Structure formats: structure tokens, C-alpha cells
């Protein structure tokens, strides 16, 4: 039988999600716990997959992994083997053909940072509208050999004053795409770039290309699938919120993480 797991983690002390020899990673801890519970001995044979390979320092509240398990999983037992900054929020049985990455219909990210001095929110929002729809995002990603750079961005929302939030929704994202888009929008709001400069980048002109914003502000907030429903434990959500955010911020952001089941998928699901 095959299961998908919704995973939350604070990426601050890990060298990214994906396993790296001799380095602490989120995936390494998850696979140790899965092995310890007798669910998976060899990831390759279990057809283990992950929805998004987050970089070093990036966190998640709704990462998804999938694999063929040797028995029905016990989420509480799995969490007892994980460090406090990683939690499995829910498990759902899925079809044998389920692919955690390819079957995702939508991914949502949030980036949080301090506003630069003199930041013009209206200009940044105007520039953000240029990014919506289908574009060649080659100037807003770290290139991966053989992967097309044309993609579609469904939603962008920028809010806040002293603390800014950037929310992005798309069927898929390229490597470092969100962090590079954030940096470009910060540059527009700070007057270092114009909306016209950003438009030219989308038209594949080189110009002054944006580097990635620091990884610590980025959170993978949701991955959606057709026909897969996770029932996340409020207790486990609270455990993660306490671990990552601290008691002072836990309540409002925990409520946002749970979302509203009656809303349509197009809603921005924010951590």
C-alpha cells in the first residue's frame, strides 16, 4: 500500500531537505524515522518521492512525501522518532500510481522579511502583476539542465508595512524562483529597479538579474492534489508552531495554517 505524508519542519539547522552524506537534512531524519517504525527499509524500492526539494534554511508547513509502506503507519509513533523541529502532520492512503511531485496541482509559498527603507508597496504590487500568467522565468531561477524555464504563475500577493509578506501560487516552481522573484520585487519597491526593468527580464533580456533573497524567510505553505485529503492534527500543528514560531506568534499563524475547508482551491493558503 502507498501513503502520502504531510510534513512540517523548521529548516534553520538543516542543509536543505534532500539527503547529503555526513550532513543533517530533513529527509535524512524522516527516512530514519520511517525505517525505525518498520515502514520503509529501502527508499528506492519503496518508490519514495517528495513534492518539493527545499534549500538549506527553508522551512515548510505542508511538504508532502509519498512511498510504499510495509504496514499501516502510526503518525504518533513516527513523530516520537523525529526531532522537535520536524513533525508529520498527517498521513493519507493514496493510489499506487500516486506521484508526490508530478500529481501536485498547486504549490504555495510565503516569504517574510523586513521592508527596506523607503519601500514603495504600490510599485512592488504593480510590478508583481507583470509576473502573473505564463512567462519564461529563466532570469528568475537557477538553471537545471534539461528543465524548461517556461511556467505559469497563478497568484501573487504582497502585504505588510514594516514586515512584508510575499505569497505565490503556481502549479510548479523552478529552483530559487520564489526567492529571486522576491528580491526583484524588493528592488522595485526600493527604487533600485523599475517595473519596466522587470518586464524586460520576463522578456528574456539580461540586464541586472536578481540574485536569490536569503532562504530563512521562505516557507512552503501548501501542496494540493486532486482526491487527496489530509486531516492534520491540531496538536501536531501546535507542536510545530511552537517549535518554529514561539508562543507569541503561534495562535494567529496556526489558525491560518489550518485554513478553511469551505474555501475554493484558488484561496491563498498561508502559513
Q: What is the mean pLDDT of each run of 10 residues along the chain (271 residues)?
A: 95 94 96 96 95 94 95 94 92 96 95 93 95 93 87 94 93 95 95 90 76 92 91 69 43 40 41 36
Half-sphere exposure of 149 (CA within 13 A, CB side): 17
Phi and psi of 238, rounded to 5°? -65, -40
Residue 246 CA to residue 252 CA, distance in Å, equals 12
CB atoms within 10 A of CB 243: 17
Sign of the four-CA dihedral 64, 114, 208, 15? negative
Rounded to two decimals, what is the model's pTM?
0.86
The residues assigned a catalytic role are 55
Nearest to 173 by CA among 69, 58, 271: 58
Under a CB-based contact definition with an 8 Å cutoff, are residues 210 and 200 in contact? no
Residue 109 CA to residue 220 CA, distance in Å, equals 5
Report all structural domains of the chain as residue ranges with CATH numbers, in order of start: 2-103+226-258 (3.30.70.580), 106-216 (3.30.70.660)
**All residues at 6 or more sequence positions from 160 whose CB lies less than 8 Å from its CB, including other chains:** 115
Residue 82 CA to residue 88 CA, distance in Å, equals 9
Q: Where are the alpha helices (DSSP H) in 190-269?
A: 195-202, 234-245, 247-258
Nearest to 190 by CA among 268, 113, 108: 113
Under a CB-based contact definition with an 8 Å cutoff, are residues 84 and 149 in contact? no
Under a CB-based contact definition with an 8 Å cutoff, are residues 217 and 203 in contact? no
Q: Can you give the pLDDT at residue 241?
A: 54
3-state secondary structure of 157: strand
| 218-224/59-68 β-pairing | parallel
DSSP class of residue 212?
P
Q: Can you give the pLDDT at residue 100?
A: 96
Residue 262 CA to residue 2 CA, distance in Å, equals 28
Determine the angle formed by the axes of helices 121-131 and 177-189, rounding to 10 degrees. 140
**123-153: b or e for each residue (b if 16 or more CB lie within 10 Å)?**
bbbebbebbeeebebbbbbeeeeeeebebeb
Amino acid at each position: 500500500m502507498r501513503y502520502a505524508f504531510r510534513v512540517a519542519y523548521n529548516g534553520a539547522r538543516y542543509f536543505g531537505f534532500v539527503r547529503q552524506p555526513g550532513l543533517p537534512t530533513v529527509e535524512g531524519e524522516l527516512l530514519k524515522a520511517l525505517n525505525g517504525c518498520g515502514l520503509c527499509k529501502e527508499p528506492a524500492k519503496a518508490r519514495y518521492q517528495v513534492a518539493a526539494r527545499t534549500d538549506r534554511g527553508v522551512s515548510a508547513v505542508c511538504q508532502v512525501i509519498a512511498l510504499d509502506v510495509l504496514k499501516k503507519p502510526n503518525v504518533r509513533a513516527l513523530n516520537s522518532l523525529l526531532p522537535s523541529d520536524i513533525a508529520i502532520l498527517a498521513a493519507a492512503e493514496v493510489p499506487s500510481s500516486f506521484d508526490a511531485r508530478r500529481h501536485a496541482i498547486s504549490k504555495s509559498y510565503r516569504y517574510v522579511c523586513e521592508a527596506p527603507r523607503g519601500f514603495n508597496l504600490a510599485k512592488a504590487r504593480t510590478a508583481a502583476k507583470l509576473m502573473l500568467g505564463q512567462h519564461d522565468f529563466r532570469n528568475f531561477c537557477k538553471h537545471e539542465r534539461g528543465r524548461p524555464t517556461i511556467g505559469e504563475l497563478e497568484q501573487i500577493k504582497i502585504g505588510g508595512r514594516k514586515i512584508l509578506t510575499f505569497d505565490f501560487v503556481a502549479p510548479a516552481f523552478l529552483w530559487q524562483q520564489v526567492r529571486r522573484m522576491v528580491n526583484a520585487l524588493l528592488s522595485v519597491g526600493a527604487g533600485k529597479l523599475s517595473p519596466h526593468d522587470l518586464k524586460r527580464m520576463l522578456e528574456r533580456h539580461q540586464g541586472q538579474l536578481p540574485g536569490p533573497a536569503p532562504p530563512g524567510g521562505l516557507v512552503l505553505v501548501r501542496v494540493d492534489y486532486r482526491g487527496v485529503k489530509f486531516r492534520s492534527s491540531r496538536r501536531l500543528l501546535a507542536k510545530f508552531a511552537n517549535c518554529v514560531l514561539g508562543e507569541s506568534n503561534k495562535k494567529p499563524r496556526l489558525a491560518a495554517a489550518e485554513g478553511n475547508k469551505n474555501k475554493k482551491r484558488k484561496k491563498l493558503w498561508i502559513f
